[in-house]
A and B are shown apart, each in its own frame.
Chain A
Amino acid sequence: MTATPGESRPGPALLEVREVTKSFGAVAAVQGVSFPLYAGEAHALVGENGAGKSTIVKMLAGVHRPDTGALAVHGTEVEFTGPGDAKAAGIAVIYQEPTLFPDLSVAENIAMGNQPLTRLRQIDRRAMHDNAARLFTRLGVHIDPDRPARGLSIADQQLVEIAKALSSEARVLIMDEPTAALSGVEVDRLFAVTRALRDEGAAIMFISHRFEEITALCQRVTIMRDGRHVCTELVADLSVDDMIRRMVGRDLSTLFPKQDTEIGETVLEVEGLGREGVFRDISFSVRAGEIVALAGLVGAGRSEVMQAVFGVDRYDTGSVRFLGKPLKPGSPRAAMAAGMALVPEDRRQQGLIMELSVERNVTLPRSRALARLGLLFGAAERREATSWTGQLQTKLGRLSDPVGTLSGGNQQKVVLAKWLATDPKLLIVDEPTRGIDVGTKAEVHRLMSALAARGLAVVMVSSELPEVLGMADRIIVLREGHVAARLTRAEATEESVMYAAMGQQVTT
């Protein structure tokens, strides 16, 4: 099934991750993770969204420094003070988003940092061109070394990145979801190149959400969950089922209490909604008192669907009915007037005005209603804000403090307060607990549950499986822009949601 190299006993590790830990503020992104990368072996790193894979990549690239633990190259512990050090240690990183210099030629992009020099320490342009041409021949691709990098397709940009890694004679190649934006043919070509490199003795770390790619390319796999190391095994010893189970398997605590509520009339009906190249044929309905979760991987089109429903984005086909009446497409104002509220994913950019005070933020959507003769009085704002922040148990100093001074969880409560103040019939929340500590998370969940109990219809977009399973009455799983599965609360398990999200058949 898998290629032979690596299944025999490997030599010493080219690169070793030893018990690394990294926290950002109060959030521990990676906790005590260890794994080795062997020469001539492709090593998959898998985990759910937010499992800490990208943090590991950034540590290997020298962008982040581990708080504790270390990296060891050829058995010697090293400390990278910047990306230059990682590069010098023979580590090349291919990011999901290529990082080329658009104004410079392809040959220069490849040579940047170790350009061939003439005797006068000038750059030898001919040698640089020939070097790039030679690398492209070796990779079997036709890219003109003299053209600027601007305008290259994503696939070609990734090939240039690989050529860059080859030219720096990197021994360790880290590929962070390199196939996400590639077509089938391009993936095949990338894999052919990667296999050749692996067989020449490079160590490859490969991150992907597609299991068929992992079984096709990798010998060893490390599974991460919630920033922790789950296991490192030979790919041949694990079935896809095993991998998925280990990715998601965790204690379902009682952190997410959705109270049983009386389900009322239908609030939102979405029929055959589609947008060229983003999502297609999306139908679902939400009733009062119900929490419906949209699950799926990042990029499956969940947020896009809800933004189209709310009118922030357009849609090409289908219809949206709200409380039995058709909703004007492409108009957030109409959606708000009808009684919809959207709490966006990125609260810092889209949900709050960080410099304004808490009270201003809370009353912003209601400023017209609160105004007397067109003038807004502080007292009216304060009264309103006091009431809502009290109900949501928001921890804050003074209402006049800028909202940016609050913690992430309390900021999220302010966003919720802001929209609840408009007395909506339907609340759309996109990643309601991203970047929030566990305690506040539970409070946000309790709040959402209480709102549903009061007869509010809730649509929740979430990447966190426990949250989805704990909170939702029904789960709609999206995959690559279409509905992959509809699950009731009773049917839903971590495995069934992940299977649907990743497009695997349920084999049990």
Chain B
Amino acid sequence: MTAAVAAPRRIFSGLVKVRELGIILALVVLVGYTAASNPRFLSGQSIRDILLNTAILAVMAAGQAVVVITRNIDLSVGSVLSLSAFTVATLMSDNPGLPMVAAIAVGLVVGGAAGLLNGVLVRYGRVPALVVTLGTLYMFRGITYSWAGGQQVNADELPRHFLTFANDSILGVPWLVLIALVVVGGVSLLMRNYRMGRELYAMGSSPQAAELAGIKVARNLLGAFILSGALAGLAGVLFAARFGTVDAAAGTGLELNVVAAVVVGGVAVFGGSGTVWGAGLGALLLTVIGSALTVLDINQFWQQAIVGALIILAICADRLVAVRIARSLRKKDSHV
């Protein structure tokens, strides 16, 4: 009896891990091939660039993954990034004395407030998240445009310590990368090991059952949107620090990259399954693809086609895994 129970268990854990393993495998193959044709791809500077480019996307993907796991979506993150980046850049150029921590706090608050608005509209307005966040995507962007009025904050207006933050490192790891690691790790832990995280999975897996189980659906949903917004706000601060020049168009279209990273990273679009660190890996994979194509001297336009193919592949893989699990479970049931 015990053997009959143990065998399928191994199959499940194997299949469930397939998603993240697939991304790691794709990364290894891609990096190996690119490095073989151009060894400079693995130079310290190149790796550092890739990681710095991944960091901002990964921070946003972590928040997006949480929202997608609850069977929702947040399309406003690109606009929240620009709103936060412009707010913080303006603040820092007006008050050069403010420490970095204050800048980050302001970014988190601006983003969190935007996320709260999304959450309230979704939950209490009973409007689908796709529609709400599509609306706020334009709304937040519009606010930034009318505030900026065609102006931009340039690097020479920003204090030095703010600009060097992006490149400073601790023990050889750039701050930006460290922050991304902490965010992805922390949110992964929250989703995996804490009650609220598991309730978010439950809500995405079966919204009706979540209500009947007495889960505090409203609180959790607001929490998920606030988290996604706050992390987009944090990404805005990192964006401003890294690029120095901020205008109202910053981060336009970024939301689609973020959603792509999440989906490629194995988070099911219909909620309930996937991991945050998988979404982080998805962000890394997308960035590596971009860099590899440059190194391999392949037209950048191919990048979009490849990302598109990856999204479709990821969704097909989801279906395949689901069908295989269902089949292996049926087989097991017929034995009992």
Q: Does A113 contact B (CB under 8 A)?
A: yes
Q: Are A148 and B194 in contact (CB under 8 A)?
A: no
Q: Are A147 and B9 in contact (CB under 8 A)?
A: yes
Q: Are B214 and A87 in contact (CB under 8 A)?
A: yes
Q: Return chain A residues, CB-CB under 8 Å to B216.
A: 84
Q: What is the bound-complex CA distance between A82 and B8, given in angstroms?
A: 38
> DSSP class of B's interface residues: helix, strand, loop or mixed?
helix
Q: Does A473 contact B (CB under 8 A)?
A: no
Residue of B nearest to A100 (CB): B209
Within 8 A of B (CB), among A219-233: none
Q: What is the bound-complex CA distance between A63 and B209, given in angstroms?
A: 12
Residue of A nearest to B193 (CB): A122
Residue of B nearest to A144 (CB): B5
Q: Does B211 contact A (CB under 8 A)?
A: yes
Query: B326 to chain A: closest CB distance in Å?
Result: 5
Q: Are B5 and A112 in contact (CB under 8 A)?
A: no
The contact size tier of chain A is 35 or more
Central interface residue in A103, A104, A147, by most chain B CB within 10 Å: A103
Residue of A nearest to B214 (CB): A84
Interface residue stretch chosen among B102-110, B169-177, B200-208, B256-264: B200-208
Query: A500 to chain B: closest CB distance in Å?
Result: 35
Central interface residue in B213, B214, B322, by most chain A CB within 10 Å: B214
Q: Return chain B residues, CB-CB under 8 Å to A122.
A: 189, 193-194
Q: Does A308 contact B (CB under 8 A)?
A: no
Q: Are A112 and B8 in contact (CB under 8 A)?
A: no
Q: Are B206 and A150 in contact (CB under 8 A)?
A: no
Q: Does A2 contact B (CB under 8 A)?
A: no
Q: Does B272 contact A (CB under 8 A)?
A: yes
Instruction: Count A-B pairs with CB separation below 8 Å.
Output: 99
Q: Return chain A residues, CB-CB under 8 Å to B211.
A: 63, 82-83
Q: Does B126 contact A (CB under 8 A)?
A: no
> DSSP class of A's interface residues: helix, strand, loop or mixed?
loop
Q: What is the bound-complex CA distance between A84 and B213, given in angstroms?
A: 7
Q: Are A146 and B205 in contact (CB under 8 A)?
A: no
Q: Return chain A residues, CB-CB under 8 Å to B204.
A: 103
Residue of B nearest to A99 (CB): B209
Q: What is the bound-complex CA distance between A101 and B202, given in angstroms?
A: 6
Q: Does B1 contact A (CB under 8 A)?
A: yes
Q: Are A113 and B5 in contact (CB under 8 A)?
A: no
Per-residue CB contact flags for chain B residues 210-236 toward chain A (1 = under 8 Å, else 0) read 111111100000000000000000000
Q: Are B214 and A85 in contact (CB under 8 A)?
A: yes
Within 8 A of B (CB), among A116-151: 117, 121-123, 142, 144, 146-148, 150-151
Q: Return chain B residues, CB-CB under 8 Å to A144.
A: 5, 8-9
Query: B81 to chain A: closest CB distance in Å?
Result: 30
Q: What is the bound-complex CA distance between A113 and B196, given in angstroms?
A: 9
Q: Are A142 and B5 in contact (CB under 8 A)?
A: yes
Q: What is the bound-complex CA distance between A142 and B325, given in angstroms?
A: 19
Q: Does B72 contact A (CB under 8 A)?
A: no
CB < 8 Å: which of B193, B213, B272 contacts A103?
B272
Q: Are A101 and B272 in contact (CB under 8 A)?
A: yes
Q: Are B329 and A151 in contact (CB under 8 A)?
A: yes
Query: A174 to chain B: closest CB distance in Å?
Result: 12
Residue of B nearest to A121 (CB): B194
Residue of A nearest to B13 (CB): A146
Contact flag A61-B215 (CB < 8 Å), given A101-B272, A104-B201, A144-B5: no
Q: What is the bound-complex CA distance between A61 and B194, given in angstroms?
A: 26
Q: Are B215 and A112 in contact (CB under 8 A)?
A: yes
Query: A122 to chain B: closest CB distance in Å?
Result: 4
A-B interface, 3 closest residue pairs, ranked by CB to CB distance from nearest: A84-B214, A103-B272, A151-B329
Which B residues lie at the A interface, using CB under 8 A?
1, 5, 8-9, 12-13, 189, 193-195, 198-199, 201-202, 204-206, 208-216, 268, 272-273, 322, 325-326, 329-330, 333, 336
Give 5 A-B pairs besides A99-B206, A103-B205, A122-B189 with Cβ atoms closer than 8 angstroms: A121-B195, A147-B329, A150-B325, A151-B329, A151-B333
**Can you name 24 A-B residue pairings with CB atoms under 8 Å?**
A63-B211, A82-B214, A83-B214, A84-B215, A84-B216, A87-B213, A87-B214, A101-B201, A101-B202, A101-B206, A102-B272, A103-B201, A104-B198, A113-B195, A122-B194, A123-B193, A142-B336, A144-B5, A147-B329, A148-B12, A148-B325, A150-B329, A151-B326, A151-B333
